[in-house]
């Protein structure tokens, strides 16, 4: 079982429905860098997917993420929801 931090849990808790980066930042009241890093980790774990404005999945999680995270929308994956609910 992969470990989940409290912050990862809180972020996943907000991602049962599609959320923009700004909406997440306002709801969670955390620093932008912290949220960006946490989302990037969650994407790498396969617990969150990035979507563009038309809600198409963005598969590039490398440099593109750091450059474009403000325009992405986020949604928990099935694996992410299962990890969240079994914590």
Structure-token pair, residue 26: 């306002």
pLDDT score of 59: 76
**H-run or E-run covering 51:** strand 48-51
Fold of 6-85: Arc Repressor Mutant, subunit A (1.10.10)
pLDDT per residue over 21-74, tens digit each?
A: 999 999 999 999 999 999 999 999 999 999 988 888 887 656 678 888 899 999
- As beta bridge partners, residue 57 has 51
């Amino acid at each position: 079982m992969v470990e989940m931090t409290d912050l990862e849990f809180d972020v996943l808790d907000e991602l049962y429905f599609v959320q923009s980066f700004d909406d997440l930042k306002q709801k969670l009241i955390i620093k932008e860098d912290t949220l960006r890093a946490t989302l990037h980790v969650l994407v790498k774990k396969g617990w969150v997917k990035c979507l563009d404005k038309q809600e198409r999945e963005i598969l590039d999680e490398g440099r593109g993420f750091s450059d474009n995270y403000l325009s992405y929308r986020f949604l928990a994956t099935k694996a992410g929801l299962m990890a969240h609910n079994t914590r």
